[in-house]
Structure 1
Amino acid sequence: MKKVHIIGLGLLGGSFALALKKSRPDWKLTGFDKNPLHLETALRMGLIGEKRERPDSDTSLVVLATPVDSLYALLDQTLGQVGPDTLVMDFGSTKDQLCRQMAAHPKRSQYLAVHPIAGTENSGPQAAEEKLFDGKVLILCEMEKTDVQLKGLAYEVFEALNMKLRFMDPVDHDLHLAFVSHLSHVSSFVLGKTVLDKTRDEKNIFDMAGSGFASTVRLAKSSPDMWAPIFFENKKNVLEALDSYLEHLSHFRNLLAQGDAEGLHQEMTEANKIRDILDLRD
């Protein structure tokens, strides 16, 4: 029987627990969350069998599913608590800074940097979904630095969750995620704030909000506790993505202001090409 300890029992940590319980019911799951309500909810839901502030020294796997600004200190602390046969991995959305911080750690070979491309706008253990990871992409960074025996355990877990593995350099990971994930969240937060400001004058504006608005602003419901640290951890790349976005937004506005119907139509036609890429992915 393997022991798995999860720190951070929100959407990702809770969903991981549900999926692992389903595929490996004989494994023992313990966990901890600094939010007492989250911890009690996770216990009540059966996400973990026992609450524990620290993992046993003979734990096989420790998963860190906490905000990115807490991960290095938590990694250092956790690696100091576990034995030599324990793998520790994090689910953080940024990887470059964390991998650089871990480069000279004496237990670097017991760490694996992973990022599941899975999630919803909801948060907390009550948002956990058993199939959240099923068929989703899992990005692995610097796997060559992880002990070969511990990599075997990692592959067993990823196979149990039915995840598609992709290998990336941490620098490339953070740059690409800034454009395809982090920018989407910034845009959604700002759109939500823009519309909320407008409702101060026009109380019935939401009566006219259809499915297009709902899908575009959905990410604005995401947890600021999780996303503000992501933006700051990946500040350089997020700013680059924002500058590019603002440039395109300004160009679009100018075409509209100048009455350039042909130019505006061409701009939208070019954007339509994203459909081909997304269709291929599906």
Structure 2
Amino acid sequence: MSGTTKPFRRNNPSGFDALLVLLIVVAAVVAAFPLVWMVLSSFKTPAESMQVPPVWLPKTPSLDSYSEVAGVINAGRSFWNSAVIATVTTAGILVTSLMAGYAFAKYRFRGRDALFALLIATMFLPPIVTLIPLYRLVSYIGLNGSLFGVIVPHLANAFGIFLMRQFIAGVPDDLIDAARVDGASELRIVFSVVAPAVVPALAALTLFAFVYHWNTYLWPLTVLQGNTDDYPIVISLSRLLSYNRGAMNTHLVMAGATLAVLPPLVMFVLLQRFFVDSIVSSGVKG
């Protein structure tokens, strides 16, 4: 027999491919429809936004809703608060997850497996269960009513530690030992040797953490306790529902939601290609 192998060909690929493409298009349309509807509604007049049957396209697109939103909820300050909460919390999660994941993956110490199992168990707790204990702790240390109270309890994340530990476990020990022989400290090994090797995990964790803490609602509302100056954008948007109750405010809510979704969307666009390329390259190397 010849040593060459024939390329694999799928029987009747055209029908299968057409069905697959159709399913992908339908799924994409269903997923994107709420976002498209939100953006289109933000350009409508109050009458058009509440019309039945609904008006799909605004007859006279206008940016008045956006200017009105900026005046009602002090959008600039709200965006700044959300940016501080999401950015600082994400940075903290990346640092603590990388260091703790490195310790769990590469150190051998008594009780390591039991401690890691306990850490994993906390991932199954609903956030509402820890709300009151965290609030009492924040109040006890005097951070209640401030952005620090929103940020500090979430600077470490069990999922982030788990994710980093799984990726760092695949980093060759010889690479770390070589860095130690060259005189590198453990911190330098973590950030100069290990971190570049787990870029895909860092990119994924950045996306997850930033989007989650940008959109978080209940915890900031509980900690800030009516301190409207420190409200993030997702809480400030709720004020649009009660603003001028004599009028229909659907267009305002849609305009505010469109503004609020832009930063996470930009973050996803910036990191998505980098994340995918890193996954592909790491798969080829590994």
Q: TM-score range by the shorter chain?
A: under 0.3
More helix, by proportion: 2
Q: Which has the larger radius of gyration?
A: 2
More strand, by proportion: 1
So what's the TM-score if we normalise by structure 2? 0.27
